[in-house]
């Protein structure tokens, strides 16, 4: 779902002002990657096939989801006509991943 929504042509996106786009876009990126990293940690910590992955679920989730966010921006920049990669989006993705970790720890550990 994240891959499909981030690779849509820019003509499919709603037209909004620059300030609204910046705030909505950053929030949307952070929210999607928060959910992604949270669910990855839950899934990795509840599986029993790979014990090391279970032990390092938070680190693995942070690495995988951050690399996924960077890969999406690179795909947008180099391969999707009408879209361009943005370092602000990478930053919002990474912040969302960190919020996902905090959310996991808040729900499951504290």
pLDDT for residue 21: 46
pLDDT for residue 105: 96
24 contacts 89 by C-beta, under 8 angstroms: no
Cα-based angle 31, 32, 34 (whole degrees, multiple of 5) = 65
What pTM does this model have?
0.80
Half-sphere exposure of 16 (CA within 13 A, CB side): 11
* Of 82, 107, 99, 105, nearest in space to 29 by CA: 99
Helix segments in the chain, DSSP class H: 2-6, 18-46, 51-55, 57-79, 87-104
Mean pLDDT of 5-21: 61
């Amino acid at each position: 779902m994240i891959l499909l929504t981030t690779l849509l042509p820019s003509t499919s996106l709603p037209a909004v002002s620059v300030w609204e786009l910046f705030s909505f876009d950053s929030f949307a990126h952070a929210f999607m990657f928060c959910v992604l990293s949270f669910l990855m940690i839950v899934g990795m910590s509840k599986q029993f096939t790979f014990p090391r992955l279970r032990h390092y679920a938070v680190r693995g989730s942070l690495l995988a989801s951050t690399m996924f966010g960077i890969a999406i921006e690179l795909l947008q920049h180099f391969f999707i006509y009408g879209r361009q990669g943005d370092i602000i989006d990478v930053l919002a993705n990474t912040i969302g991943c960190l919020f996902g970790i905090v959310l996991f720890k808040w729900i499951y550990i504290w």
